[in-house]
Amino acid sequence: MSRARDVLERLVGASGVERAVISMAALALSIVVGGLIVFVSGLGAACEAGANYHIAIPLPGSVEILLFDGRLSMLGFQSCYDPINVYEKLFIGAIGGLPWESGWQPTNFAMEVFLQRATLLLFTGLSVAVAFRAGLFNIGTQGQMIWGALVSAVTVLFVADFAPAGLAGTAILLPLALVSGAVAGGIWGAIPGALKAYADANEVITTIMLNFVATFGTTLLVSEFFQDPQSAGGTQTRMVPGNSLVPSIPFGFQGTRFSILALVLALVLAFVVYFVLWGTSFGFDVRTSGLQPEAATYAGVNAERTIVRSMTISGALGGIAGALWVLLANGRFLTGTEVPSLGFDGITVSVLAGNNPLGVIFGSILFGVLKSGGNALNFQTDVPPELVSILSGLIILFVAMPEFFRLIGRSMGIGDEQATVATDGGEDDG
Amino acid sequence: MSNTAVRLAGITKRFPGVVANDQVDLTVEKGSVHALLGENGAGKTTLMNVLYGLLQPEEGDVYVKGERREFQSPRDAIDAGIGMIHQHFMLVDPMQIWANIVLGQEPRKYFGLAVDEQAAIQQVHDLCERYGFEVDPTETVEDVSVGVQQRVEILKTLYRGADVLILDEPTAVLTPQEVEDLYDVLDELTAQGKTVIFITHKLGEAMHSADDITVLRDGESIATVSVDETNQNELAEMMVGREVLLEVDVPEHEPGETTLAVDDVTVTDGDDIDRVKDVSFEVRAGEVFGIAGVDGNGQSELVEAITGLESPTSGRIVVEGDDITGHSRRQRIDDGMAYIPEDRHERGLVMDFDLVENGLLGSQHAEPYSKNGRIEWDTVRGHAEDIIETYDVRPPNADADAHSLSGGNQQKFIVGREFERDPSVVVATHPTRGVDIGSTEFIHEELLDLRQRDRAVLLISSKLDEVRQLSDRLGVMYEGELVDIVDPDETSEEEIGLLMAGERPDGIESMRTTGGRP
């Protein structure tokens, strides 16, 4: 028990560099553990590829590791899945191959998937980070994103009829779509914020519930009012006009999949959020409330207003993610299983980043790589998609755990420990 | 050796970055009261936690009755006859006193299947009889006074066969009368051959209650002296390491107009209980108005109503003629009200912020620290460094997190931040709670300096000598009411103590100017 405490203490007290090293070590460990799981999973599977091994690694004694094309034999066991091949596909496949290989294009499909996912997660991650910094566990970024997506899609479809064609239309429609998405998400975030501030309703519960309302409320609205008449199957809106999509400038991705403009906007916002939190009076209020609400009240912070404002900003960032999901990835609003869990992944991204807006950039890159690499694995190997998900999950779990334990340690009051002991523990003396 | 109850030899205990105990020796005679005196952070509690088995020392040995012992846990220490009564009682409030005492070692009946209540009550009763404790074993803990609860804690350790009782700051929660009763209890215990170790940082208590005193400073044992051969000044010097003024020199100063007026204020809590009942008083410019009272008699609620953390149910707060009852906390800060809060860990400081950020607390929207909503970090840093220098905060490092500072230095930083606002009204709640003598002296001087500069100072403290020495007029609170306002120079400590306990001694002259009640 006391050993566990010591470890927690070390984690809570870790410096920035130590935390980065811990994260890298955790990543390496997750790769080793994941590799073993891949190997074991392949033992019972039926192999497809040929049996010519291309590498033999001799070990002491008569043991030998044989790497076949697409499978591996170790200690006399033969597995159909070669962990090295799996990781090669996961990490290098995520960007469509090695950049110095011939034929590699920076605008290849895998890069688009990777960058698009990273960009969207940057917004949802920022959304969660703002709320967490204010001490609010906003689980509702998903719902805020969904509303942002629907409202921006509907707004664009409505206004497009009156907007000029071509780039002039883009200049009107695109900002309008982003703003309407932000407003919708902001309102959806302000609701649980107000409930928390003025009715003392736990924001974890209300945001989770409002996620359901958002998911099914938007589905209902689309099927009743905004359904695409040409669509055979799913409940979805019409396609937004081409000139409302985020344009592929300065150079050409396919446009509906990824645009550097969106990434630049996300990066700028990450720095803006960082500046607001650490450079403004409002940000000081937010951070004080998040760390010590009592001290914030003492310092003249209006607790209710700060809660509502933080949740509104958080929701607005989620709403922008939704708008871009429409304008970047799909060109229309989709429902049901077509909606990716960007909002929920945003929670992990933010925790991974220690709720630091700039750290969120790296968290979203990791998630983007795993998404795109997972695709590559599914296309290029016979490793089942479930195993791919397990590998991604493991990596996130391992990388997030140290941060997670730091949060736990802090909430247990570890870290204050030193000071308390040093001051004799004797605070009250009457 | 035969007469030694406990001996600690060369105890060294380190925490990351701190040596809490450095080669400390301590010898406690059997049947004596031994005070462990030192400032906060001197290592008193750490040393006793080692003796009680809560901490394991890196070096050094523990001897009980001449035998070397190693305690892995408090259980081992209890088996060796050592008991510890912590500052915060560990009692089950809704349970009866006898049940709290026997808990875990109940007498049993029906082959151990049930607690033998009659036997337990009888045993507790016998124990009370033997030590002359006036405790009814069948009362419920939450219904009895704090003084009785403390006796229950003592009985608990006696029931477990303790010969050596460690009391950690036992007077912190008691009224002056209860403190006297505690001294009687200690006498009775030692008369029956028990040994008491008494942790305190109050000189008077150590002198009054102990036979021998060991002074600790910065984790080192400075000296062990017999009370007959020392005096308070010598002890204070040993504690602090330099000469200190124990008496506050209060200069003559004529107060001016009323600056803060509290008018018939009532505060009702969530359970519809009036925490503050119709309290009225005035604080004039250049005056220290003290409020004495045992903790929990409405002082906290009154202060929160004045400083804007709570709104009063009825009544008015008036500052310099303006009714500020409806003003928000931030407006009050802007109006020039400084507030040293009761709980520096919860309110006064953000523990995970460094001192730069903590210096900004409360001024985050005010010029020159913030312009157009943007924080001017250079100005803020300069401000924090000024506070650190002027108020001698150690270590002098603005980048240190608040939680890395000792209690006294945290408090000095808060005092500095609040006084630097150049306030017209200062509300100081327990400004020297948990603060060492040196810092206490300094904070008192600063409060009196504000008084010289014609500021209105409202001082709330449960330290009777502090409010008596500093205040020009002294209000006493009991159960939410301001029972009287007296002249601290004309009223004895005993008389004030009685007022604090809700009694009304004869011959007290009231200084109440308004709203007097019979």
- Kindly determine whether residue B375 and residue A284, on different chains, have CB atoms separated by under 8 Å: yes
Which residues are CB-neighbours of B359 under 8 A, at least 6 positions away? B380, B383, B384, B387, B398, B413, B417
Residue A134 lies in a domain: yes
pLDDT at A287 over 90: yes
Same domain? For A392 and A247 the reply is no
Of all residues in chain B, the one with the smallest CA distance to A295 is: B347
pLDDT at A57 over 70: no
Distance between B219 CA and the closest CA of chain A, angstroms: 10
Distance of CA B297 to the CA centre of its chain: 15
Reading the block at residue A293, the tokens are 């609400």
Asked if residue B300 lies in contact with residue B342, where contact means CB atoms within 8 angstroms, the answer is yes
The label of the residue with tokens 């409010």 reads B467
Reading the block at residue B208, the tokens are 């009054």
Residue A88 lies in a domain: no
Same domain? For A30 and A75 the reply is no
Decide which of A350 and A15 is more confident: A350
Same domain? For A189 and A332 the reply is yes
Distance between A60 CA and the closest CA of chain B, angstroms: 44
State residue B89's pLDDT score: 82
As a whole number, mean pLDDT of residues B234-248 equals 76
Q: B90 burial class (0-12, 13-18, 19+ CB within 10 angstroms)?
A: exposed
Could you give the C-alpha distances from A165 to A106, A149, A155, A171, A244, in angstroms and in order?
30, 23, 16, 10, 10
pLDDT at B518 over 60: no
- Give one word for B265, left, alpha or beta, with left for phi > 0 and alpha for psi -120 to 50: beta
pLDDT at A430 over 50: no
Decide which of B425 and B406 is more confident: B425
Which range, of A47-61, B279-293, B492-506, averages the lowest pLDDT?
Answer: A47-61
Residue A63: pLDDT band with limits 50, 70, 90: low
- Give the domains, in start order, of chain B with CATH numbers: 4-240 (3.40.50.300), 247-336+423-518 (3.40.50.300), 343-422 (no CATH)
- The C-alpha angle A243, A248, A250, rounded to 5 degrees, equals 125
CB contacts of A422 in chain B (<8 Å) are 15, 17-18, 20, 41, 406
Asked if residue B89 lies in contact with residue B149, where contact means CB atoms within 8 angstroms, the answer is yes
- Report which secondary-structure segment, H or E, holds A125: helix A109-133
**Closest Cβ opposite residue B171 in set A283, A288, A430:** A430
pLDDT at A307 over 50: yes
User: For residue range A152-165, what is the model confidence (pLDDT) as tens digits?
Assistant: 999 999 998 888 88
Residue A254: pLDDT band with limits 50, 70, 90: low
Residue A86 lies in a domain: no
Domains identified in chain A, total number:
3
Asked if residue B431 lies in contact with residue B414, where contact means CB atoms within 8 angstroms, the answer is no
- Kindly determine whether residue B350 and residue A425, on different chains, have CB atoms separated by under 8 Å: no
Distance of CA B288 to the CA centre of its chain: 21
State residue A86's pLDDT score: 84
State residue B456's pLDDT score: 95
Which residues are CB-neighbours of B506 under 8 A, at least 6 positions away? none
Residue B245: pLDDT band with limits 50, 70, 90: low
- Kindly determine whether residue B352 and residue A291, on different chains, have CB atoms separated by under 8 Å: yes
Same domain? For A26 and A59 the reply is no
Q: Side chain identity at A358, as an amino acid letter?
A: L
User: For residue range B63-98, what is the model confidence (pLDDT) as tens digits?
Assistant: 998 889 889 888 889 989 999 998 778 888 889 999
Same domain? For A151 and A265 the reply is yes
State residue A129's pLDDT score: 96
Residue A429 lies in a domain: no
State residue A76's pLDDT score: 60
Same domain? For A8 and A126 the reply is no
Q: What is the CATH number of the domain that holds A278?
A: 1.10.3470
pLDDT at A429 over 70: no
* pTM of this structure: 0.77
Last residue of a domain, one of A348, A376, A404: A376
- Kindly determine whether residue B407 and residue A427, on different chains, have CB atoms separated by under 8 Å: yes
Tell me how far apart the alpha carbons of residues B335 and B425 are, in angstroms, rounded to a whole number. 9
Distance between A298 CA and the closest CA of chain B, angstroms: 6
Residue A216 lies in a domain: yes
Tell me how far apart the alpha carbons of residues B424 and B337 are, in angstroms, rounded to a whole number. 6
Interface A-B: count of C-beta contacts within 8 A: 142
Query: What stretches of A69-222 adopt beta strand conformation (E)?
Result: 71-74, 77-79
Decide which of B335 and A65 is more confident: B335
Sign of the dihedral through C-alpha A10, A11, A12, A14 = positive
Same domain? For A162 and A239 the reply is yes
- Give one word for B133, left, alpha or beta, with left for phi > 0 and alpha for psi -120 to 50: beta
Distance between B308 CA and the closest CA of chain A, angstroms: 9
Which residues are CB-neighbours of A316 under 8 A, at least 6 positions away? A127, A144, A182, A183, A185, A186, A189
- Kindly determine whether residue A295 and residue B349, on different chains, have CB atoms separated by under 8 Å: yes
Complex confidence, ipTM: 0.80
Which range, of A278-287, B180-189, B401-410, averages the lowest pLDDT?
Answer: B401-410
Asked if residue A241 lies in contact with residue A172, where contact means CB atoms within 8 angstroms, the answer is no
State residue A74's pLDDT score: 63
As a whole number, mean pLDDT of residues A64-88 equals 67
Residue A428 lies in a domain: no
As a whole number, mean pLDDT of residues B167-175 equals 80
Q: Side chain identity at A114, as an amino acid letter?
A: F
Q: Where are the alpha helices (DSSP H) in B171-298?
A: 176-191, 203-209, 232-240
Same domain? For A138 and A3 the reply is no
- Kindly determine whether residue A291 and residue B346, on different chains, have CB atoms separated by under 8 Å: no
Asked if residue B346 lies in contact with residue B309, where contact means CB atoms within 8 angstroms, the answer is no
What range does the domain containing A410 cover? 1-42+383-416
pLDDT at B181 over 60: yes
State residue A54's pLDDT score: 47
State residue A60's pLDDT score: 59
Residue A87 lies in a domain: no
Residue B344: pLDDT band with limits 50, 70, 90: confident
Tell me how far apart the alpha carbons of residues B215 and B235 are, in angstroms, rounded to a whole number. 8
Residue A46: pLDDT band with limits 50, 70, 90: low
- Kindly determine whether residue B350 and residue A295, on different chains, have CB atoms separated by under 8 Å: yes
Same domain? For A403 and A369 the reply is no
Tell me how far apart the alpha carbons of residues B437 and A162 are, in angstroms, rounded to a whole number. 77
Phi first, then psi, for residue A96 (nearest 5°) are 75, 25
State residue A62's pLDDT score: 52
Same domain? For A57 and A37 the reply is no
Asked if residue B456 lies in contact with residue B424, where contact means CB atoms within 8 angstroms, the answer is yes
Reading the block at residue A306, the tokens are 């700060």
Same domain? For A263 and A343 the reply is yes
As a whole number, mean pLDDT of residues B360-374 equals 92
State residue B246's pLDDT score: 65
- Report which secondary-structure segment, H or E, holds B456: strand B456-460
Residues of chain A with pLDDT > 70: what percent? 85
Tell me how far apart the alpha carbons of residues B97 and B121 are, in angstroms, rounded to a whole number. 9
Residue A262 lies in a domain: yes
Tell me how far apart the alpha carbons of residues A65 and A74 are, in angstroms, rounded to a whole number. 5
Which range, of A116-120, B51-55, B270-274, averages the lowest pLDDT?
Answer: B270-274
- Kindly determine whether residue B330 and residue A282, on different chains, have CB atoms separated by under 8 Å: no
Task: Map residue A26 onto helix, strand or coil.
Answer: helix
State residue A52's pLDDT score: 44
Could you give the C-alpha distances from A244 to A158, A159, A328, B281, in angstroms and in order?
12, 10, 10, 68
As a whole number, mean pLDDT of residues A344-365 equals 91
Which residues are CB-neighbours of A264 under 8 A, at least 6 positions away? none
pLDDT at A390 over 80: yes
Same domain? For A391 and A281 the reply is no
Q: Side chain identity at B353, as an amino acid letter?
A: F
User: For residue range A262-277, what is the model confidence (pLDDT) as tens digits?
Assistant: 999 999 999 999 999 9
Distance between B420 CA and the closest CA of chain A, angstroms: 15
State residue A58's pLDDT score: 57
pLDDT at B187 over 50: yes
The label of the residue with tokens 């064609």 reads A165
Q: What is the radius of gyration, based on Cα positions, of chain B?
A: 25
Decide which of A129 and B249 is more confident: A129
- Kindly determine whether residue B433 and residue A415, on different chains, have CB atoms separated by under 8 Å: no
User: For residue range B263-317, what is the model confidence (pLDDT) as tens digits?
Assistant: 999 999 877 888 899 999 999 999 999 999 877 788 999 999 999 998 999 999 9
CB contacts of B370 in chain A (<8 Å) are 281
Which range, of A404-413, B18-27, B47-56, B343-352, averages the lowest pLDDT?
Answer: A404-413
Core vs surface per residue B241-257: b (16+ CB within 10 A) or e: eeebeeebeeeeeebee
First vs last C-alpha separation in chain A? 34
